Amino acid sequence: MISEFNHVSSFKTPFFFYDFDKVHDNIRRFSYFPKSMNVELFYAMKANDYPPLLTFLKQKGIHIEVASGLELQMAQKVGFDKIVFNGPAKTNEELELAAKSKNTTILIDSLNELETLQKIVSAKTHIGIRINPFSSTWSKFGIHKKNIKIALEQIASSKNLELAGFHFHAGSFIHDPLFYKHLLNQLITIIKTSPIHYFNSITFINIGGGMPCYGKIKRNTLEGLLAKGPIKNFLSESFIRSQELQHMKHFEKLDLNQWFKSFAVIISIYMSRIETLLQKKVKLYLEPGTSLIGDAVNVYAQAVTTKYNKVLLDVGSNIEYDHNNFWHPIYNITSPSDDIQKANVFGPLCARDDLFARCYFGKPLKKGDYVKIISMGAYTFSLHTSFIKSRLGVVIKKNNTIKQTVTGETFENKYSSFF
């Protein structure tokens, strides 16, 4: 902790701290698949679009998944050699941009999109179908199961569209790898009940992301509702704090290596069954976002003031999307200890829900003490706003060398173009 305090205190807080060495370690977790399987990783850019991170991932042989024309242009600028283009509402302009890109596979998300693309393309174009795996109709993502056969028929009759694969995404923070078997079973049913020639050009199966990371806990339904809801009273806050105390006891017990070993075994079994039905080998595409970057980024901040049972930091909770639904461990790194303090840790914003946690590790925080909020890599840099306060700076660690690459947002950065 002493060395950590020394390097943190040399930079102006608050800032994101990217550990690229940790990202490299996280990539290695996907090596548990049998060597006979052809597995390719497509990082979900939406999770964190910090350009040096994208360049680092490209250098490590990772491909990219994008969800807009803007992200597609970034992927092209960085120079990724393989791109999958996702997204539930691609505009005509975005489809045209993607269709011109020789190394981009468009994942069709609706029958409307399929019809539009048929009118746009004039040469052979490889596409995938995103399946909506859920029986309910609330989800806006993918083609519903009942319409998959219509999509297959339209692609089979198209002169320029060729079906290269299937895609689905089950959600985030899937703590039981067995959940994926239900999704793959749906794909097996589609293959079994459709003419086999529909799948002659299939080269990949993309099962999306959803793999967990260390140190970012998704609150249960009741806890999340109370954390974000309008009711703030002694009972609701006491319940949330009791849940956070349980998180503090158990979050380190998640064995990610065992999770990924089990995940590899389950996926391998079902991919083998799919390949038997297709009568050929196909590639497995994965779209990790949080599992690659989530626990490789921490936020460092300072305590600005303390009040009765409260600590206010110099960083706001608007650095994370949907922050009330998640809990992160917070550490006093100026005065570290194994003690747990029951005190609310607030940000500086004029918003009642600007609250990170109701307890933290270490000795009681004092004005000027440094804190670390861990596992802040996913849906933070790409989504945090400069509401009231400035956007954060960035410090990176790579090959055990630490340097600042982005300074915090200034008045000139934000407003100079208006004056």
User: Is residue 341 in a domain?
Assistant: no
Number of domains in the chain: 1
Print the domain residue range for 132.
21-213+250-293
What pLDDT band is residue 2 in, cutting at 50, 70 and 90?
very low
CATH of residue 38's domain is 3.20.20.10
Arithmetic mean of pLDDT, 231-242: 83
Domain assignment present for 254: yes
Helices (H) and strands (E) in the chain, counts: 13, 22
Whether 36 maps to a domain, the answer reads yes
pLDDT at 221 over 90: no
- 103 domain residue, yes or no: yes
pLDDT score of 24:
96
CA distance linking residue 141 with residue 138, whole number of Å: 9
Q: 17: Cβ–Cβ under 8 A, 6 or more apart, which residues?
A: 8, 297, 298, 299, 300, 395, 396, 397
Q: Is residue 224 part of a domain?
A: no
Report the alpha-carbon distance of residue 186 to residue 205 in Å, rounded.
Answer: 13
Residue 34 falls inside a structural domain? yes
In a domain, 67, yes or no: yes
164, part of any domain: yes
Rg of the chain, C-alpha, whole Å:
23
pTM over 0.85: yes
- Digit-coded pLDDT (tens) for 162-203: 999 999 987 888 889 999 998 899 999 999 999 999 999 999
Taking CA atoms, 301 is separated from 14, 235, 357, 406, in Å, by: 4, 29, 14, 16
| Burial of 181 from C-beta contacts in 10 A (0-12 / 13-18 / 19+) | middle
pLDDT for residue 214 is more than 70: yes
Mean residue pLDDT across the chain: 92
CA distances for 327 relative to 19, 180, 335, 374, 376, angstroms: 20, 25, 22, 10, 10
